[in-house]
């Protein structure tokens, strides 16, 4: 029968007697203890516990909660999802409130009653599990397949979108054509407080130069030949919502000055008009061009660049997103199979190989088109490379075991930590969050030449 691993609970207190009492009270958990800030951080790195109880009165001055609060902050910096229950004295409620503001999940006042504290700990474990399950679900769920991504590069982008959405800052999206810049712009809008207001997009490269100004700013009746009535521009139509200026790098230099004035003053004048109109919109811009290079060539205004670039998000090309390619391909396959009533349900091994080795110059847009075409043309439930219109021109992908991957990664981490810790094995173990015997065992196991002499 397989032994079920227990959930990890870290108890931090400078009183060994209390630690011993609590350890025997919570036998349903794997209990780890620490009596100081330094020892606590070592245990956090080593075990990454789901729940921590923290007495704010830690040495060197147990009467001062600053050490405990510093420990709280340090733990959350390393394990932001850990649930920390602070333990305070009866007359120390203010420090408990401060701890909650810093990120603690709950507090308990002395004297410690294991039975009552046990209920709080059980609740913290349940909340941690629910939040962890929710994060795992959100990793793969999305209203648009192009937002799917587990690669480090894409997770960074998604996190930035979530952070800036609630703040009314001008955002510049940089990325190659087809990387999903408009999709991200819509995500920023839908996650913002303006989600119920208009999202207006205009592609600065697709509209002739002589028409772009009237498209953006609108025009009055009689402003030019054919202007038979007063017409609002895209900027005015976006009032209260979000204006997405795609390919702003293609905006004519003559129009950039007028756009700069709008961004600075938040007022516009229609073509042929004389009155100023106040506009409240959020600005999101995007381009595949090198704006800094264009500034040097004097084809893009430097002051406009800094006005639209309060926050910049660089979207990685598909070829740099590793396993996201297969995740996206499967998501598009499911979408188009349902849309086109197709019986396709997967990819052959040569199709997977072709998907992973293709350079994807057209990025997600190219992948989307390839999958849709393959779903239409497929004769069998499993799509092959020929139906994708791709060829395996690269050598087969090297398949290595997880054990080999882990060995390489652990060896690299050990060597790096050993250098950072000035060749001190004890500090290296602490830095890595493992015990010294474990470190020696890994050095011997992987035959790490840089550290092997230390074993002799």
Which of 388, 422, 441 is a domain's end point?
388
Q: What is the pLDDT of residue 135?
A: 62
Do residues 56 and 69 lie in contact, with contact meaning Cβ atoms separated by under 8 Å?
A: yes
In a domain, 396, yes or no: no
How far from 236 is each of 79, 92, 186, 219, 278, CA to CA, in Å?
Answer: 46, 55, 18, 11, 9
Distance CA 284, CA 170 (A): 6
Is 3's pLDDT higher than 50? no
Domain shared by 105 and 171, yes or no = no
Do residues 87 and 105 lie in contact, with contact meaning Cβ atoms separated by under 8 Å?
A: no
Domain shared by 355 and 423, yes or no = no
Which helix (H) or strand (E) covers residue 277, if one does? strand 277-278
Q: Which residues of 91-122 are buried (b: 16+ CB within 10 A; e: fewer)?
A: ebeebbebbeeeebbbbbeeebeeeebeebbe
Q: What is the pLDDT of residue 255?
A: 94
Q: What is the pLDDT of residue 324?
A: 84
Is 310's pLDDT higher than 70? yes
Domain shared by 307 and 265, yes or no = yes
3-class secondary-structure state, position 347: strand
Domain shared by 239 and 177, yes or no = yes
Identify the residue with better confidence: 345 or 140: 345
Do residues 72 and 104 lie in contact, with contact meaning Cβ atoms separated by under 8 Å?
A: yes
Which helix (H) or strand (E) covers residue 181, if one does? helix 181-190
Domain shared by 43 and 121, yes or no = yes
- Give the least confident one: 138-147, 327-336, 404-413: 138-147
In a domain, 66, yes or no: yes
Average pLDDT, the chain: 86
Which residues are paired to 311 by β-bridges? 171
In a domain, 144, yes or no: no
The pTM for the full model equals 0.59
| Averaged pLDDT, 46-55 | 92
Domain shared by 40 and 112, yes or no = yes
In the chain, % helix, strand, coil (3-state, to 5) comes to 50, 15, 35
Distance CA 439, CA 414 (A): 8
Domain shared by 183 and 295, yes or no = yes
Domain shared by 180 and 289, yes or no = yes
- Give the least confident one: 195-199, 258-262, 343-347, 406-410: 406-410
Tell me the percentage of the chain whose pLDDT exceeds 90. 45
In a domain, 143, yes or no: no
Q: What is the pLDDT of residue 351?
A: 86
Is 327's pLDDT higher than 90? no
Domain shared by 156 and 266, yes or no = yes
Q: What is the pLDDT of residue 186?
A: 93
Q: What is the pLDDT of residue 409?
A: 83
Residue 349 domain boundaries:
320-388
Which residues are paired to 277 by β-bridges? 268
In a domain, 2, yes or no: no
> Which residues have CB under 8 Å from 9's CB, separation 6+?
26, 29, 30, 31, 32, 49, 50, 51, 52, 53, 121
In a domain, 449, yes or no: yes
Domain shared by 18 and 76, yes or no = yes
- Give the least confident one: 70-74, 86-90, 219-223: 86-90
pLDDT category, 454, cuts 50, 70, 90?
Answer: low
Q: What is the pLDDT of residue 141?
A: 46
Which residues are paired to 57 by β-bridges? none
| Averaged pLDDT, 221-231 | 88
Q: What is the pLDDT of residue 356?
A: 87
Which of 137, 158, 188 is a domain's end point?
137
Distance CA 68, CA 64 (A): 8
| Averaged pLDDT, 292-301 | 95
How many domains is the chain built from? 4
3-class secondary-structure state, position 32: strand
Domain shared by 131 and 31, yes or no = yes
Is 185's pLDDT higher than 80? yes
Distance CA 234, CA 253 (A): 19
| CATH code of the domain containing 157 | 3.40.50.300
**Residue from 313, 66, 299, 266 nearest 172 by CA:** 313
Tell me the percentage of the chain whose pLDDT exceeds 70. 91
Is 440's pLDDT higher than 80? yes
Is 143's pLDDT higher than 60? no
In a domain, 142, yes or no: no
Which of 271, 299, 314 is a domain's end point?
314
Q: What is the pLDDT of residue 137?
A: 53
Is 8's pLDDT higher than 70? yes
Which residues are paired to 200 by β-bridges? 243
| CATH code of the domain containing 103 | 3.40.50.2300
Dihedral, CA atoms, 415, 416, 420, 425, nearest 10 degrees?
-30
Is 369's pLDDT higher than 90? yes
In a domain, 341, yes or no: yes
Q: What is the pLDDT of residue 452?
A: 57
Q: Which residues of 44-71 are buried (b: 16+ CB within 10 A; e: fewer)?
A: bbbeebbbbbbbbbbeeebeebebbbeb
Which helix (H) or strand (E) covers residue 443, if one does? helix 436-446
Do residues 315 and 157 lie in contact, with contact meaning Cβ atoms separated by under 8 Å?
A: yes
**Residue from 2, 24, 3, 1 nearest 11 by CA:** 24
- Give the least confident one: 116-125, 252-261, 353-362, 403-412: 403-412
Do residues 269 and 275 lie in contact, with contact meaning Cβ atoms separated by under 8 Å?
A: yes
Q: What is the pLDDT of residue 147?
A: 65
Domain shared by 265 and 345, yes or no = no
Q: What is the pLDDT of residue 392?
A: 58
Q: What is the pLDDT of residue 345?
A: 84
Q: What is the pLDDT of residue 113?
A: 86
**Residue range 336-362, pLDDT digits in tens:** 999 999 988 888 878 888 898 899 999
């Amino acid at each position: 029968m397989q032994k079920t691993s227990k959930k990890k609970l870290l108890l931090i207190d400078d009183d060994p007697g209390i630690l011993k009492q609590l350890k025997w009270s919570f036998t349903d958990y794997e209990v780890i203890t620490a009596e100081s800030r330094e020892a606590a951080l070592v245990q956090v790195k080593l075990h990454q516990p789901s729940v921590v109880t923290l007495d704010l009165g830690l040495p060197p001055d147990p009467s001062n909660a600053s050490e405990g609060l510093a420990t709280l902050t340090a733990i959350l910096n390393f394990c932001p999802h850990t649930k920390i229950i602070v333990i305070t004295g009866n007359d120390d409620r203010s420090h408990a409130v401060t701890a909650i503001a810093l990120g603690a999940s709950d507090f308990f006042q002395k004297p410690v009653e294991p039975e009552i504290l046990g209920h709080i700990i059980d609740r913290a474990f349940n909340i941690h599990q629910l939040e962890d399950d929710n994060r795992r679900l959100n990793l793969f769920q999305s209203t648009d397949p192009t937002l799917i991504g587990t690669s480090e590069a894409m997770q960074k982008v998604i996190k930035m979108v979530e952070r800036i959405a609630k703040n009314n800052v001008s955002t510049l999206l940089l990325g190659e054509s087809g990387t999903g810049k408009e999709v991200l712009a819509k995500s920023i809008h839908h996650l913002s407080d303006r989600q119920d207001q208009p999202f207006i997009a205009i592609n600065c490269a697709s509209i002739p130069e002589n028409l772009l100004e009237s498209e953006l700013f609108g025009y009055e009746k009689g402003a030019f030949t054919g202007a038979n009535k007063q017409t609002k521009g895209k900027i005015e139509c976006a009032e209260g919502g979000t204006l997405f200026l795609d390919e702003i790098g293609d905006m004519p230099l003559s129009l950039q000055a007028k756009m700069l004035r709008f961004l600075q003053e938040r007022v516009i004048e229609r073509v042929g008009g004389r009155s100023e109109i106040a506009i409240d919109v959020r600005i999101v811009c995007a381009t595949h061009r090198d704006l800094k290079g264009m500034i040097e060539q004097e084809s893009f205004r430097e002051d406009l660049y800094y006005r639209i670039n309060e926050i910049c998000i660089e979207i990685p090309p598909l070829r740099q997103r590793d396993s996201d390619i297969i995740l996206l391909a499967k998501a598009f396959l499911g979408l188009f199979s349902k849309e086109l009533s197709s019986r396709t349900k997967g990819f052959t091994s040569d199709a997977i190989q072709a998907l992973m080795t293709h350079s994807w110059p057209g990025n997600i847009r190219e992948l989307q088109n390839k999958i849709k075409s393959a779903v239409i043309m497929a004769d069998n439930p499993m799509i092959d490379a020929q139906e994708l219109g791709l060829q395996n021109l690269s050598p087969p992908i090297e398949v290595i075991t997880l054990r080999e991957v882990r060995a390489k990664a652990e060896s690299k981490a050990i060597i790096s930590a050993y250098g950072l810790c000035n060749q001190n094995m004890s500090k290296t173990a602490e830095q890595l969050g493992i015990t010294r015997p474990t470190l020696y065992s890994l050095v011997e196991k992987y035959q790490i030449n840089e550290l092997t002499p230390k074993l002799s």
